[in-house]
């Protein structure tokens, strides 16, 4: 399951799902705690992928914690994007209920806390500090793990309880500020791989990187080994969060030019800036449901 702070629903493939080839399927008859609701639901994600099915209730286990009668989505159809993803079967949404398509009235984190299953209504997320840390991430329900961050956690308020949405004040590149006038909000999204900026801001960002290129085929590409040691600072909730430019470089884009790699920043005409994993792998993030705030502390390598 993909732990996704950018969506609110818990769903996974369930029989019958002819488009879910290669994925594990949930069999309702195998569960003694399953209760059908049979309300249809469908949702479309920002990348164009979509899923649909019916709703039900069942006990959901997260580590040693259990939430009975949790509303779940049983997916009977997924698009090719999900079907071809061999690393996950479904989505475990951690956003606020106002974003739910399956009819959730409260988050599973708040429900677990109310039932005494976890100590606090928070989730601490570590994605892995460096690119070779795949498989070493960790999520703690009900607390944080100090082994994965340094210093103090800095909290910023959520501006709207839908996504984990915070105010966005632009970016700073080695002391040179780049602001955007048409976007003043950002969402903290563990379910998005990249950091998504509006076109004018993305263009300004890449203009500061010698050798950066844009094409309709590849999008933004940057030198795999940038000639500058610039620091990119994102301003969220009035606080500054620096990221080394080198950490915004992804995998090589083409064997035709091995010197170029995909950028960790992409552009899109979105009403919200999306702070995805290329940013979040630099910070241990904490999602505090009780106080409606997001915390960040530098991740340990």
Please give the positions annotated as active site: 4, 189
User: Is the distance from CB of 88 to CB of 2 less than 8 angstroms?
Assistant: yes
Q: Which residues of 214-241 are buried (b: 16+ CB within 10 A; e: fewer)?
A: eeeeebbbbbbebeeebebbbbbbeeeb
Closest by CA to 72, choosing from 28, 115, 114, is 28
What is the enclosing helix (H) or strand (E) of 267? strand 265-267
Q: Give the Cα separation of 206 and 241 in Å (integer).
A: 18
* CA 38 to mean position of chain CA atoms: 28
199 secondary structure, DSSP code: H
β-bridge pairing 283-288 and 122-126: antiparallel
């Amino acid at each position: 399951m993909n732990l996704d702070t950018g969506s609110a629903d818990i769903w996974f493939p369930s029989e019958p799902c002819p488009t879910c080839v290669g994925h594990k399927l949930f069999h309702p008859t195998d569960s003694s705690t399953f209760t059908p609701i049979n309300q249809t639901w469908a949702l479309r994600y920002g990348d164009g992928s979509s899923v649909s099915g019916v709703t039900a209730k069942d006990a959901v286990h997260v580590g040693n914690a259990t939430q009975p009668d949790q509303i779940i989505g049983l997916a009977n159809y997924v698009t090719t994007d999900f079907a071809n993803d061999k690393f996950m079967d479904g989505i475990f949404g951690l956003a606020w209920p106002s974003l739910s398509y399956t009819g959730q009235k409260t988050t599973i984190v708040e429900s677990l806390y109310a039932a005494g299953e976890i100590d606090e209504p928070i989730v601490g997320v570590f994605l892995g500090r460096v690119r070779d840390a795949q498989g070493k991430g960790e999520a703690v329900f009900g607390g944080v793990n100090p082994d994965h961050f340094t210093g103090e956690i800095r909290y910023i308020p959520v501006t709207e309880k839908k996504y984990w949405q915070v105010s966005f004040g632009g970016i700073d590149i080695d002391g040179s500020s780049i602001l955007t006038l048409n976007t003043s909000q950002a969402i903290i999204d563990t379910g998005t791989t990249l950091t998504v900026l509006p076109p004018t801001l993305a263009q300004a960002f890449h203009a500061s990187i010698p050798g950066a290129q844009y094409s309709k085929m590849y999008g933004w590409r940057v030198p795999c080994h940038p000639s500058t040691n610039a620091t990119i600072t994102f301003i969220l909730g009035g606080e500054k969060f620096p990221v080394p430019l080198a950490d915004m470089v992804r995998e090589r884009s083409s064997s035709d030019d091995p010197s170029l790699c995909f950028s960790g920043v992409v552009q899109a005409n979105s009403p919200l800036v999306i702070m995805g994993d290329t940013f979040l792998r630099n910070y241990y993030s904490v999602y505090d449901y009780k106080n409606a705030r997001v915390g960040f502390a530098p991740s340990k390598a």
